[in-house]
Amino acid sequence: LHVDRQVIGCSDHDGEQAYNLDGEEMWFADFIKKEGVEPQPPFIDHMTYRDGAYQRAEANQQACKTSLDVLRTAMKDFKIED
């Protein structure tokens, strides 16, 4: 049994997208270098992600930031109960 995870997150100035398998990072988007990175050690059978993975990560960041703006607008007048 394996556990795989996809992490997508964003803020106004930063973003993250990564794929993990059994707690090990298998791929992440480097938004500074504008490329996908596969930080796998040389002693394992290398797993490669499909072409376009980085472009999907960029699109996911745009969707995340749009959702963040929508939520901020919706929560602007939300009153916090004591």
Which is more confidently placed, 76 or 65? 65
Q: What is the pTM of this model?
A: 0.79
Residue 39 lies in a domain: yes
Residue 82 lies in a domain: no
Q: What single letter denotes the amino acid at residue 55?
A: Q
Residue 25 lies in a domain: yes
- State mean pLDDT over 20-26: 90
**CATH number of the domain residue 11 falls in:** 3.10.320.10
Tally the domains of the chain. Answer: 1
Q: Which domain holds residue 68?
A: 4-75
Residue 15 lies in a domain: yes
Which is more confidently placed, 78 or 64? 64
Residue 60: both structure tokens together: 């996911």
Residue 22 lies in a domain: yes
Residue 41 lies in a domain: yes
CA dihedral 25, 30, 31, 32 (to 10 degrees): 140
- State mean pLDDT over 17-46: 92
